[in-house]
Structure 1
Amino acid sequence: MKVEITDVFLRDGLQDEPVIVSTAHKLEIAEALVDAGLKRIEVASFVNPKRVPQMADAAEVVASLPTVPGVTYTSLALNGRGIQRAVEAGATDIQVVTSASQTHSNANAGQAIEDALANLGAAVAGFPEIRFFAGISTAFTCPFEGAIDPAYLLRVVRAFTDMGITDVGLADTLGTTPSEQVMASLHHVRGAEPDITYYLHLHNAHSQALATASAAVETGVVRFDAALGGYGGCPFAPGRTATSPRRSLSGTCTTPDTRRASTRTASPRLCGSPSTSSLIPRRPAFSIPPAKPLFTASTPVHRPPRRSSHQTFWGQ
């Protein structure tokens, strides 16, 4: 079965790193991913730059990306202001995101789920020319509330379908949800809304993301998010871990040339042996590569300000 992978390194992979990667380096990474054969790449999130300074150059990144036939660049937004900024920058494919957990929604977007959905719905209606798709964070497990009731998840899915959105992603934000629970929730929402195209965004705390992906493929799910080298994580989800490593997921599902991308773009961890390309529990700081470096001794390293535990929302 042919499976479509969206590489989310440039957004999910970089948003939680302790350094800020320059716009030029991000564009070089995007070029390397395209050269490696990736056809769908998430490149930025249009969120509050004070909360997620790693994404402060989202508009510059999107506006500077080269047009490549057959390649789709996607962006992420949490609210109407983010959607407006993305459209102004030239984004054509925008993921609109909310949480399935009220507590995580307040931490991540600074507002209740209902308010977030109402804000997104009004903005989506204003841009009929844009290809919108949806993402639901903490779709299965919340770091604050625990397991998510599939019936509540379905309500959020239906809120997006009411906007006219027919592609919906479900995220295991912590990567701790057992495969059986993911599949049970997926079965519930697919049974109630069978005409929706579903995809999965899996993190890998318990080294079960690939097993979950394989189980989902068996049921006909054909779209997954993954990240070069397994980088990634929500800055506002305590206990989060990195995203499914794309090289491992690619070995299960499809065959883009991941070695070409990892050799060009980052650290020894990204282009190491198969054992090191799986996730590492304690993530090191962003490394300096030995050849064709993105970071050198003379490259200024900008470190984001420390986040306040009392002001953690990152929408704008």
Structure 2
Amino acid sequence: MTVTITEVVLRDGLQDEAVVVAVADRIAIAEALAESGIRHIEAGSFVNPERVPQMAGVDELAAALPRADEVHYSFLALNGRGVRRAVDAGAENVLVVASASGGHSRTNAGRDVDAAIEDVARAVAENPGTSFIAGVSTAFACPFDGDVPADRLVSVAERFAAMGVRRIGLADTLGTATTDHVVRSLAAVRDALPDVDLSLHLHNAHGQALRTVDAAIDLGVVHFDSATGGYGGCPFAPGAHGNIATEDLVAHLHSRGISTGIDETALANASELLERALARAVPVV
């Protein structure tokens, strides 16, 4: 069995740090991650740099990342403007995101869920030559609205599927959802959309993320997001915890005899490079 990991430290990991890592350092980190065997890297987000200054320079980054057939970079966009910027910068894959909960959507995207999805849907329709994947933030719990009912999550996922998106990631943005909760909601989405490839983006508040990974694998999920060093969090979701660490996820999967294609020693080298880049980064003003 093989599991695919998308490395998100360059986007989700860095966005919650109080520093701005230089574009050159981000490129070097991406190269080191690729050398470890990681084939899917979420490299940044096309968002307002006044709100998320850590993502400044993303246009330059997208243009400068080394291209290799076996390595796939994606960039997050919250709205139509972000999608257009990503496409103009030559992004290979664009991750369009909406929240399952109204409270987080208004804080994160500045609009309610329906308006956010409608805006993204227009942008997807306007760019038929671009590869889109989708992500649902606060898929299980919201810091403002509490637990998210499964039927609400299904509704958001169905709207992404109606755009023609064939891979949808479900994010435990806070990292507080129980394994049972994730499994119930995941199963509901799978039953509603059997032809869509589902992935999980897990944060790790109570050390339950690896248990959730195991349960999701039992349901047939073979694609997970993680961040080297366990960095990350949403600046617009109070109480959000760090991502599941790529090192922990890879070691856990390997201990189960599950292949990832990732070399743990090379991954540790990439982690050291990340730490050095953070140490010399410029503080957020």
TM-score of the superposed pair, with normalisation by structure 2: 0.95
State the match for 1:302 in structure 2: 282
Instruction: Give the residue type in structure 2 aligned to 1:233.
Output: G
Cα distance between partner residues in 1 of 2:119 and 2:248? 37
2:170–2:200 CA contact under 8 A, matched in 1:
yes
2:247–2:267 CA contact under 8 A, matched in 1:
no
How much does 1:200 deviate? 0.2
Alignment map for 1:170-249 (pairs within 5 Å): 170-249=170-249
Alignment map for 1:54-93 (pairs within 5 Å): 54-93=54-93
Instruction: Give the residue type in structure 2 aligned to 1:48.
Output: N
Cα distance between partner residues in 1 of 2:190 and 2:252? 23
The structure with the largest alpha-carbon Rg is 1
State the match for 2:262 in structure 1: 256
* Structure 1 runs not aligned, ≥5 long: 271-288, 306-316
Cα distance between partner residues in 1 of 2:245 and 2:271? 15
Instruction: Give the residue type in structure 2 aligned to 1:266.
Output: E
Instruction: Give the residue type in structure 1 aligned to 2:283.
Output: R
State the match for 2:113 in structure 1: 113
Comparing both structures, which one devotes a greater share of its residues to helix?
Answer: 2
Q: Which runs of 4+ in 1 moved over 6 A?
A: none
How much does 1:158 deviate? 0.9
Matched pairs, number: 279
1:182–1:212 CA contact under 8 A, matched in 2:
yes
Q: Is it true that 1:164 corresponds to 2:164 in the alignment?
A: yes
SS at match of 1:198: strand
1:265–1:294 CA contact under 8 A, matched in 2:
no
* Structure 2 runs not aligned, ≥5 long: 254-259
Cα distance between partner residues in 2 of 1:202 and 1:79? 23
1:136–1:169 CA contact under 8 A, matched in 2:
yes
1:35–1:260 CA contact under 8 A, matched in 2:
yes
- Deviations along 1:194-228, one digit per CA (max 9) or x if unpaired, are 11110000000010000000110111101000011
Instruction: Give the residue type in structure 1 aligned to 2:205.
Output: A
State the match for 2:256 in structure 1: none
How much does 1:265 deviate? 4.4
How much does 1:304 deviate? 1.9
- Deviations along 1:3-22, one digit per CA (max 9) or x if unpaired, are 10000010001001011100
1:5–1:224 CA contact under 8 A, matched in 2:
yes
2:99–2:138 CA contact under 8 A, matched in 1:
yes
Closer, same or farther in 2 for the Cα pair 1:110/1:255, shift >3 Å? Answer: same
The RMSD of aligned alpha carbons is 1.4
Cα distance between partner residues in 2 of 1:200 and 1:264? 23
